[in-house]
């Protein structure tokens, strides 16, 4: 393996923008500075004096940028918006809904008068500022893992368990925190929950193929840089991971736990049980980072509580919100991360009976979902919509 450490001159931001349909930031952050097109003129968030006052914490990160885009695409109503980030990004500009905002440094005072705050600034920032914001009456939708397993904090996929936040409504309750699940959990449960609701899932074994975006914009930049390095015959640049990423794959970079599963794998186990509200399901996962830019893929093997024919499973999944089936055996056409990239829906295919299990008690699926969208920003904005 080639190995070299070079200056971190990777232009992560422009790279991130390249892998979305949006333009790079201006002087750091500028989501909508692309030439006005028909679409960009039509797609606008809904500024409305009766709308909630919104804040985005971590606006300069990959998910923060996607928050802006998704709020805009979904015409999320707002009367005011605050762009928040660390002191490093404070003072830079971001364009949202045709207006330019100066990014403010995130402080305890940032949430005064804010109704809904979307957080994606890392676990320690969420731990520190999430409760402060909630005490001030703000609803925090948190994309970090800080509160996901905390009792009393709903962990929500809107298509799966909206009832978990039934009491959380603007005007009804005075603030609170709602956690956004981990991307791999969201993408798996979008496909598996309709089956679980219909016949019960007894056991789920997931093997993931996770994109660079899940490790952040710098990891995406590293993948691109290394690909260039290898093709040019140069030593590979390694700033984010300590091993080669391009033309390779490796066990997920999350810290290892005592049982030999890493934290990413245990998130899948624990979050699924919390979201489904049961301990009565056996789950194991193997999470792998693959050289794909922004959509995760997962192979999922299920043992069911009662029999389900693969055609009935397909029929069931075809009716599920937020899910699209690509399952063309004749042409070997199934979901791919590239096709799922930049899409709201999660794609499912390879829907087939597991021949290693008796009767029709076993089912196999392959899912792909955009990690930054449904795996993060879109799910969080959908949670925010449930607050309205
Ligand atoms: C990943 N857990 O590693 C992340 C994204 N949330 O892909």
Q: How far is the CA of 162 from the centre of ligand 1 (A)?
A: 22
Which are the contacts of 181, defined by CB distance < 8 A and separation ≥ 6? Answer: 148, 155, 156, 157, 189, 267, 271, 275, 379
Q: Are residues 253 and 190 part of one domain? A: yes
The band of 20, judged by pLDDT with boundaries at 50, 70 and 90, is low
The residues facing 141 across adjacent strands are: 118, 178
Q: Are residues 260 and 176 part of one domain? A: no
Is 170 contained in some domain? yes
Q: Are residues 103 and 137 part of one domain? A: yes
Task: Print burial letters for 327-344: b (CB count within 10 Å at least 16), e (below 16).
Answer: beeeeeebbbbeebbbbb
If residue 380 lies in a helix (H) or strand (E), which one and from where to where? Answer: helix 378-387
Q: Is 296 a catalytic residue?
A: yes
Q: Looking at the 3D structure of the chain, how many domains does it have?
A: 2
User: Given a cut of 60, is residue 107 above it in pLDDT?
Assistant: yes
- Computed over every residue of the chain, the mean pLDDT equals 91
Q: Are residues 189 and 177 part of one domain? A: no
Q: Are residues 136 and 16 part of one domain? A: yes
Residues 292-329: pLDDT tens digits? 999 999 999 999 999 999 999 999 999 999 999 999 99
Q: Are residues 158 and 31 part of one domain? A: yes
Average pLDDT over residues 188-212: 98
- pLDDT for res 173: 80
Is 2 contained in some domain? no
Of 287, 222, 223, 285, which Cα lies nearest the Cα of 252?
A: 287
Q: Are residues 146 and 276 part of one domain? A: no
- pLDDT for res 239: 96
Q: Which ligand 1 atom sits closest to the C-alpha of 264? A: 2
Residue 119's CATH number: 3.40.50.720
Is 6 contained in some domain? no
Pocket mutation for ligand 1, best pick of 58, 371, 374, 376 (most atoms within 8 Å of C-beta): 371
Q: Are residues 64 and 92 part of one domain? A: yes
Q: How far is the CA of 86 from the centre of ligand 1 (A)?
A: 21
Q: Are residues 289 and 218 part of one domain? A: yes
- Atom 1 in ligand 1: residue holding the nearest Cα: 214
Residues 226-278: pLDDT tens digits? 999 999 999 999 999 999 999 999 999 999 999 999 999 999 999 999 999 99
Is 3 contained in some domain? no
Q: Are residues 169 and 208 part of one domain? A: no
Q: How far is the CA of 100 from the centre of ligand 1 (A)?
A: 30
Detail the DSSP E strand segments found in the chain. Answer: 46-47, 53-57, 77-78, 80-85, 93-96, 99-102, 104-105, 116-119, 139-142, 176-179, 201-210, 250-251, 282-289, 295-304, 323-325, 346-353, 362-370
Q: Are residues 191 and 169 part of one domain? A: no
Is 338 contained in some domain? yes
Is 63 contained in some domain? yes
Is 1 contained in some domain? no
Q: Are residues 127 and 23 part of one domain? A: yes
Pocket mutation for ligand 1, best pick of 120, 148, 179, 183 (most atoms within 8 Å of C-beta): 183
Residue 362's CATH number: 3.30.360.10
Q: Kind of pairing, strands 346-353 and 323-325? A: parallel
- pLDDT for res 16: 52
Which one of the listed residues 19, 196, 252, 296 is annotated catalytic?
296
CA R_g for the chain: 21
If residue 133 lies in a helix (H) or strand (E), which one and from where to where? Answer: helix 123-135
Ligand 1 pocket by Cβ (under 6 Å): 182-183, 210, 214-215, 264, 371
User: Given a cut of 70, is residue 123 above it in pLDDT?
Assistant: yes
Q: Kind of pairing, strands 77-78 and 46-47? A: parallel
Range of the domain at 340: 185-371
Task: Print burial letters for 298-310: b (CB count within 10 Å at least 16), e (below 16).
Answer: bebbbbbeeebeb
Is 4 contained in some domain? no
């Amino acid at each position: 393996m080639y190995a070299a450490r070079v200056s971190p001159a990777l232009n992560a931001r422009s790279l991130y923008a390249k892998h979305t349909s949006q333009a790079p930031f201006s002087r750091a952050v500028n989501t909508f500075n692309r030439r006005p097109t028909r679409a960009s003129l039509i797609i606008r968030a809904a500024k409305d004096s009766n709308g909630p006052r919104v804040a985005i914490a971590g606006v300069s990160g990959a998910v923060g940028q996607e928050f802006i885009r998704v709020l805009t695409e979904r015409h999320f109503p707002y009367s005011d918006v605050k762009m928040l980030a660390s002191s490093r990004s404070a003072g830079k500009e971001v364009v949202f809904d045709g207006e330019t905002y100066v990014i403010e440094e995130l402080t305890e005072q940032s949430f005064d008068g804010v109704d809904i705050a979307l957080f994606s600034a890392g676990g320690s920032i969420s731990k520190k500022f999430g409760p402060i914001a909630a005490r001030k009456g703000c609803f925090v939708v948190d994309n970090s893992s800080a509160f996901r397993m905390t009792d009393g904090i709903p962990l929500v996929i809107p298509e799966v368990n909206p009832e978990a936040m039934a009491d959380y409504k603007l005007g009804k309750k005075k603030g609170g925190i709602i956690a956004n699940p981990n991307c791999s959990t969201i993408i798996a449960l979008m496909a598996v929950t309709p089956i679980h609701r219909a016949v019960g899932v007894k056991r789920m074994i997931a093997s993931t193929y996770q994109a660079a975006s899940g490790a952040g914009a710098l990891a995406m930049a590293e993948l691109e840089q290394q690909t260039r390095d290898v093709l040019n015959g140069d030593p590979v640049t390694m700033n984010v991971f300590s091993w080669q990423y391009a033309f390779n794959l490796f066990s997920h970079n999350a810290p290892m736990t005592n049982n030999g599963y890493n934290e990413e794998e245990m998130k899948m186990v624990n979050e699924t049980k919390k979201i489904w509200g049961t301990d009565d399901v056996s789950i194991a996962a193997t999470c792998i980072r693959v050289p794909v830019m922004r959509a995760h893929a997962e192979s999922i093997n299920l043992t069911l509580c009662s029999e389900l024919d693969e055609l009935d499973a397909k029929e069931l999944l075809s009716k599920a919100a937020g899910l699209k089936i690509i399952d063309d055996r004749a042409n070997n056409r199934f979901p791919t991360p590239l096709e799922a990239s930049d899409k709201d829906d999660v794609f499912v295919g390879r829907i087939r009976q597991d021949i290693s299990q008796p009767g029709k008690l076993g089912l196999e699926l392959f899912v792909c979902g955009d990690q930054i969208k449904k795996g993060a920003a879109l799910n969080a904005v959908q949670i925010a919509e449930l607050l309205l």
